[in-house]
Amino acid sequence: MVIFVYSSDISKPSMKLLNTYDTKDEGEEALEKIVGEKRLASERDATVVIYNLFGEPTWTNFYKLGMFDLPELQTILDARKRGEAFDADRHQTILSTLQYAARSFELDIPAHWQ
């Protein structure tokens, strides 16, 4: 099943599929966390139902959903800012993941995350 989301701005839709959930409760909890235009849509395949979370693809929303290791990145950046030791390899791994997400969702990675 394909779900299309239409927007008045054809070049950059305001809502995109952000994540999927196995239960309605998980989907509704995630829906409450994010800001901006959003909706939760169920999709049935035989006897399995999944819940698709559509919303505005922003770093804030991804952080609130705990996606792309953003909470861990926050901890690393806080340690770096305080001059404390941090795992530089893990930082680079997270940035690699964020580069993929940035391309997928047409986002820019903030310079201070580098």
Per-residue pLDDT of the chain (114 residues; tens, 9 = 90+): 444 444 444 445 589 999 999 999 999 999 999 999 999 999 998 889 999 999 999 999 999 999 999 999 999 999 999 999 999 999 999 999 999 999 999 999 999 999
* Whole-number Å distance between alpha carbons of 63 and 16: 16
Which is it for the CA torsion 98, 101, 103, 107, positive or negative?
negative
Task: Give the model's pLDDT for residue 79.
Answer: 96
| Angstrom distance (rounded) from CA 96 to CA 99 | 5
According to the model, what pLDDT value does residue 89 have? 97
Answer yes or no: pTM beyond 0.85.
Answer: no
